[in-house]
Amino acid sequence: MERERRPGSTGRPAIGYAGCVTRSRPPRLDDAALSAALAELPGWRREGDALVRRFEFPDFVAAFGFMARAALCAERAGHHPDWSNSYKRVDVRLTTHEVGGLTARDVDLARAFSELVGRPDA
């Protein structure tokens, strides 16, 4: 059976809601686990049900470069930040919306973003 191909299509059939691959919901972090994680994440703080951090860069190009690299990390993790950019500043807010709070996904992504700015090309 031959599949219909549209421009830009991979040729694979689209998966509808009934065929979605689902992940189990990650457990919310308790206060002790969150405190331990924050102790290892300099610059990050808890703000309600989110981890937040402001990153400052030398200029707009450096800030935008960070956002591009961070976007690739987030996409690979399947977990995306709420963020904004103003010239050389990037404000990041991480939370796991599906559980209404913080999970290991948020901590892992915060760690990955912090490691990006520690790189010489960041």
Say whether 56 is catalytic. no
Say whether 2 is catalytic. no
Task: Determine which one of 47, 59, 82, 97 is catalytic.
Answer: 97
Task: Determine which one of 106, 108, 115, 121 is catalytic.
Answer: 106
Say whether 75 is catalytic. yes
DSSP H or E run through 106: helix 104-118
83 has which bridge partners? 92
Say whether 106 is catalytic. yes
Say whether 49 is catalytic. no
Task: Determine which one of 40, 47, 56, 98 is catalytic.
Answer: 98
Number of Cβ within 10 Å of residue 113's Cβ equals 27
Contact yes or no for 81/44 (Cβ under 8 A): no
CA–CA dist 37, 117 (Å, integer): 18
Task: Determine which one of 59, 75, 82, 115 is catalytic.
Answer: 75
Task: Determine which one of 47, 80, 82, 115 is catalytic.
Answer: 80
Residue 93's identity, in one-letter code, is: R
Task: Determine which one of 79, 91, 115, 121 is catalytic.
Answer: 79
Residues identified as active-site: 75, 79-80, 97-98, 106
